[in-house]
Amino acid sequence: MMSFLLFSGLLILICMIYPHLPFVLRGLTCTFSGGMKTGIVGRTGSGKSNIALTLFRIIDPTVGQIVVDNDISTIGLHDLRSRLSIIPQDPTMFEGTPRSNPDSLEKFTDKQIWEALNCCQLGEEVKKKESKLYSAVMENGEDWSIGQRQLACLGRVIWKKSKVLILNEDTASVDTATDSLIQKTVREQFSEATVIAIVHRITSLLDSDMVLLLDNA
């Protein structure tokens, strides 16, 4: 199991450009135990999404330490990011096909692709298309709904089988039915993973083992 320790994680947004801005996270100390699901809530601007950014080292703490079994500042960016998975707030699909989107390097068989599509509730939708796995997908997935793009992103991380999954307000723009599908899939496919859910809907907290409330007051 993997575990998190966020110790005094202080950071400044775009600190090289605006060094006069206040810290977004101040004195944050908490532990996310391996295999548990933690929900993160807080008002807009409280720093929820910045936790995800620091985990992937898109921005680094000004003070403090983030540990994923080891101090992440000592891990190469490629190694670190290859071991974490995220479903972003704004889902992205690439121009290509349902087959190439999650597997651009063609590491998996068609059977494995179908299994993952079925797991993320997109199998039936892809089967309706004339060319099925090899149907065209427009740039940014514009011919797919936001909910379908969210499910496609979920399918992408199912293949990766990461021990750590971050959900960054992944259901903020989808209807309650799609929200339920995503929550059900996460429960089934990531039951042994460490899940950090930055949530928009309070109902998304129902499966959480712990809730972290951020406040920038």
Q: What is the pTM of this model?
A: 0.78
Q: What is the pLDDT of residues 55-104, one digit of tens each?
A: 898 888 877 788 888 888 888 888 888 888 888 877 788 889 999 888 87
Domain-wise residue ranges, the chain: 4-90+144-214
The confidence score (pLDDT) of residue 134 equals: 93
Cα dihedral: 159, 127, 179, 6 (round 10):
10
Cα distance between residue 19 and residue 41, in whole Å: 27
Q: What is the pLDDT of residues 120-163, one digit of tens each?
A: 888 998 999 989 999 999 888 888 888 888 888 888 888 777 88
Q: What is the pLDDT of residues 105-117, one digit of tens each?
A: 788 889 988 988 8
Label residue 141 left, alpha or beta by phi (over 0 means left) and psi (-120 to 50 means alpha).
Answer: left
pLDDT, averaged across the chain: 79
CATH of domain 4-90+144-214: 3.40.50.300
